[in-house]
Amino acid sequence: MKTALQILAVLMYIWCAVSPLVFIAWAVFGFPRSSNDAFSPVKPWVMAVGMGTLLCFVVVISSGVNEWLIFIPESWGSTDDYGEFVSARRGISSIVGFAGALGVFYLLGCYATQRDSERKRKTS
């Protein structure tokens, strides 16, 4: 059982490490679509890459913001419903990390949309 969990953890790390690279390559070279319709259904593996990228960006950005908020003492915070102490710095950095990851997704989406419109203009 312990070995299976270790293998699962390694696969999760690989998924989180490779997903951003694939997502950025798609943003630069074109997203895989079944049709030109923007509302076409998303393939499950495309969704898996997107979720891995979002998770990676949230972890990286929130870790960086947590270090930037060094002026907030670690003793500031409260206890949750389970009686565990939750630092205010960690809560703020998690919220900013999630918002930052969504911002990165938005910028990559804007870039991809602009690139697609330029390619269509050049071909017509």
Residues 43, 32 contacting (CB under 8 angstroms): yes
44-66: pLDDT as tens digits: 777 788 888 888 889 889 999 99
Q: How confident is the model at residue 37 (pLDDT cuts 50, 70, 90)?
A: low
Looking at the predicted structure, is the pLDDT value of residue 104 above 80?
yes
Say if CB 99 and CB 65 are below 8 A apart.
no
Q: Is the pLDDT of residue 106 over 80?
A: yes
Please tell me the pTM assigned to this model: 0.71
Task: Give the count of beta carbons closer than 10 Å to the beta carbon of residue 44.
Answer: 8
User: Which of 109, 9, 92, 10 has the alpha carbon at shortest distance from 54?
Assistant: 109
